[in-house]
Amino acid sequence: MSTIRLGDEAPNFTAQSTEGEINFHEWLGDSWGILFSHPADYTPVCTTELGTVAKYKAEFDKRNVKVIALSVDGIASHKDWVKDINETQNTTVNFPIIADEDRKVSMLYDMIHPNANDQLTVRSVFVIGPDKKVKLIIVYPASTGRNFDELLRVIDSLQLTAYHKVATPANWKNGDDCVISPSVTNEEIPALFPKGHTEIKPYLRMTPQPN
């Protein structure tokens, strides 16, 4: 097991998936990525989660994000369960699901928390940038389905930081004012933020969302 922290390179691996063998870094290419684990196939919360992710494909595509799921079940189980997801969630699963039967990837990404369950993965989420660095880690318990709107919100924030030198304040949502990154000097502001800015304190400078 390794400890993965923000800013670390996302460990590479090769694994079997519902879309064939995947080398994780090659599969990511120049995209952003979401690697997320679920506890088990044929479970109710997971069924709703994977259906929801399939429905959000256009939102992920818009943000240049590739999504890949994982559990410790096998390929045959995944493929059979996908039929149920499609039927019950009224969707078509359109992303690969890793079959991590030997728990190689789960251990690499510390997705098994033995005091919660020593056999199954928890609901881990890793957001990975095009530089292959880990940008976000969230861990949910098995009993709580994830909020994928929140995941899109965080990706929007991460991409604003990456491409526009802003951070996002508490409870920020797409379209709200942003915080000018502390690394930006006052002299740089006019060129970087033509929409204008407000200095509330020298360390708290707001600007309309730049993109």
Of 43, 86, 91, 94, which lies in the binding site for ligand BEZ, with binding defined by CB under 6 A? 43
The count of C-alpha atoms lying within 13 angstroms of the C-alpha of 133, restricted to the half-sphere facing its C-beta, is 7
Q: Are 179 and 166 in contact (CB under 8 A)?
A: yes
Contact between 142 and ligand BEZ by CB under 6 A: the answer reads: yes
Of 13, 25, 31, 45, which lies in the binding site for ligand BEZ, with binding defined by CB under 6 A? 45
List Cβ neighbours of 170 (8 Å cut-off, separation of 6 or more).
none
Give catalytic status of residue 178 as yes or no: no
As a whole number of angstroms, the distance between CA 92 and CA 102 comes to 27
Nearer to ligand BEZ, 46 or 180 (CB): 46
Q: Determine which one of 35, 46, 68, 125 is catalytic.
A: 46
Nearer to ligand BEZ, 33 or 39 (CB): 39
Q: Are 64 and 151 in contact (CB under 8 A)?
A: no
Contact between 39 and ligand BEZ by CB under 6 A: the answer reads: yes
Q: What is the DSSP string of 60-120?
A: HHHTTEEEEEEESS-HHHHHHHHHHHHHHHTS---S-EEE-TT-HHHHHTT---TTT-SSS
In the complex, the smallest distance separating the C-beta of residue 11 from ligand BEZ, rounded to whole angstroms, is 25
Of 10, 15, 34, 46, which lies in the binding site for ligand BEZ, with binding defined by CB under 6 A? 46
Distance (Å) of CA 62 to CA 2, 45, 74, 101, 160: 32, 26, 31, 32, 14
As a whole number of angstroms, the distance between CA 91 and CA 105 comes to 27
Nearer to ligand BEZ, 38 or 205 (CB): 38
Of 4, 13, 40, 91, which lies in the binding site for ligand BEZ, with binding defined by CB under 6 A? 40
Of 3, 114, 118, 143, which lies in the binding site for ligand BEZ, with binding defined by CB under 6 A? 143
Contact between 44 and ligand BEZ by CB under 6 A: the answer reads: yes
Contact between 139 and ligand BEZ by CB under 6 A: the answer reads: no
| Chain residues that interact with ligand BEZ, rule: CB under 6 A | 39-40, 43-46, 142-143
Show which residues are catalytic: 46
